[in-house]
Amino acid sequence: VGQTLHWYEEVGSTNDVAKGLAEEGALHGEVVVAERQTAGRGRRGRSWSSPARRNVYLSAVLRPDLPPARAPELTLLASVAVCQAVRQAGVAAAGIKWPNDVLASGRKLAGVLTEMAAEVERVQWVVIGIGVNVNAAAADFPEELRGVATSLLLERGAPVPRALFAAAVLTALEEWLDRHADEGFGPVRAAWREMSDTLGREVRIRGGAAELTGVAEDIDEAGALLVRTATGLERVVAGDVELLRP
């Protein structure tokens, strides 16, 4: 992953560039990286703050041999790879909030945006977009993110070389993709559980099929979140998780 690197000073969104390349036949592992994004996108239609030369914005084109229903596994896999790289970079307390936010000190450090094209039986391509706040200082975040976002710099108190960090993310991503291809979702699921900030916590889920509150018990073999509510065990496949109380 990342042997072919498409580097840009500025793009709208690396995911959009990568999707265009995928449609034109880009190979598995081609990566788009940019110094800044003018229209960085987050999950659920949100924007992603993308100041120049502070952070890492990259998108990988993958061509996994998977049915479309198993594509969500790759999103959890990507968050495991990012969390591993973040921990290696010195933020040992980083954890994952379902499905794929990397948090530290209760604030968002990184996010993953997965998009795909599929035929009935098989995924054609998956684009995994990864944004990590690396050297952003508090003043680099827009006002409304100051209390909710953090960076490696803010967590460690020292800057991190962005190219080395991006390489660590891509290396971890490749290792986990190889493992996933050989052994399936089991090892990814185990690593995700170990890195989870969500399991065992009281959560509120919004924006999915229904709003609900309960205790996050586990992720199932497809990566869905299992929440114990007053009325039973709910299986959550989409939505925003709010962690209630520390």
Return residues touching ligand BTN (CB under 6 A): 13-15, 37, 40-43, 46, 48, 57-59, 101, 111-113, 129-131
Residue 138 beta carbon to ligand BTN: minimum distance, rounded to whole angstroms:
19
Residue nearest to ligand BTN (CB): 111
The answer to whether 43 is a known ligand-binding residue is yes
Helix then strand then coil, % of the chain, to nearest 5? 30, 35, 35
Residue 232 beta carbon to ligand BTN: minimum distance, rounded to whole angstroms:
29
Nearer to ligand BTN, 53 or 122 (CB): 53
**158 CB-contact burial (10 Å; exposed 0-12 / middle 13-18 / buried 19+):** exposed
Nearer to ligand BTN, 66 or 166 (CB): 166
Nearer to ligand BTN, 25 or 45 (CB): 45
The answer to whether 133 is a known ligand-binding residue is no
Residue 183 beta carbon to ligand BTN: minimum distance, rounded to whole angstroms:
27
Nearer to ligand BTN, 20 or 184 (CB): 20
Residue 129 beta carbon to ligand BTN: minimum distance, rounded to whole angstroms:
3
21/13 Cα distance (integer angstroms): 13
The answer to whether 44 is a known ligand-binding residue is no
The answer to whether 4 is a known ligand-binding residue is no
Q: How far apart are the first and last CA of the chain?
A: 37
Kindly give the interhelix angle for 162-183 and 72-88, rounded to the nearest 10 degrees.
Answer: 140
Q: Cis (ω within 30 of 0) for the bond into 161?
A: no
131/209 Cα distance (integer angstroms): 27
216/206 Cα distance (integer angstroms): 14
Nearer to ligand BTN, 187 or 208 (CB): 208
165/78 Cα distance (integer angstroms): 15
Residue 43 beta carbon to ligand BTN: minimum distance, rounded to whole angstroms:
4
Binding site for biotin, by residue number, is 13-15, 37, 41-43, 108
Binding site, by residue number, is 13-15, 37, 41-43, 108
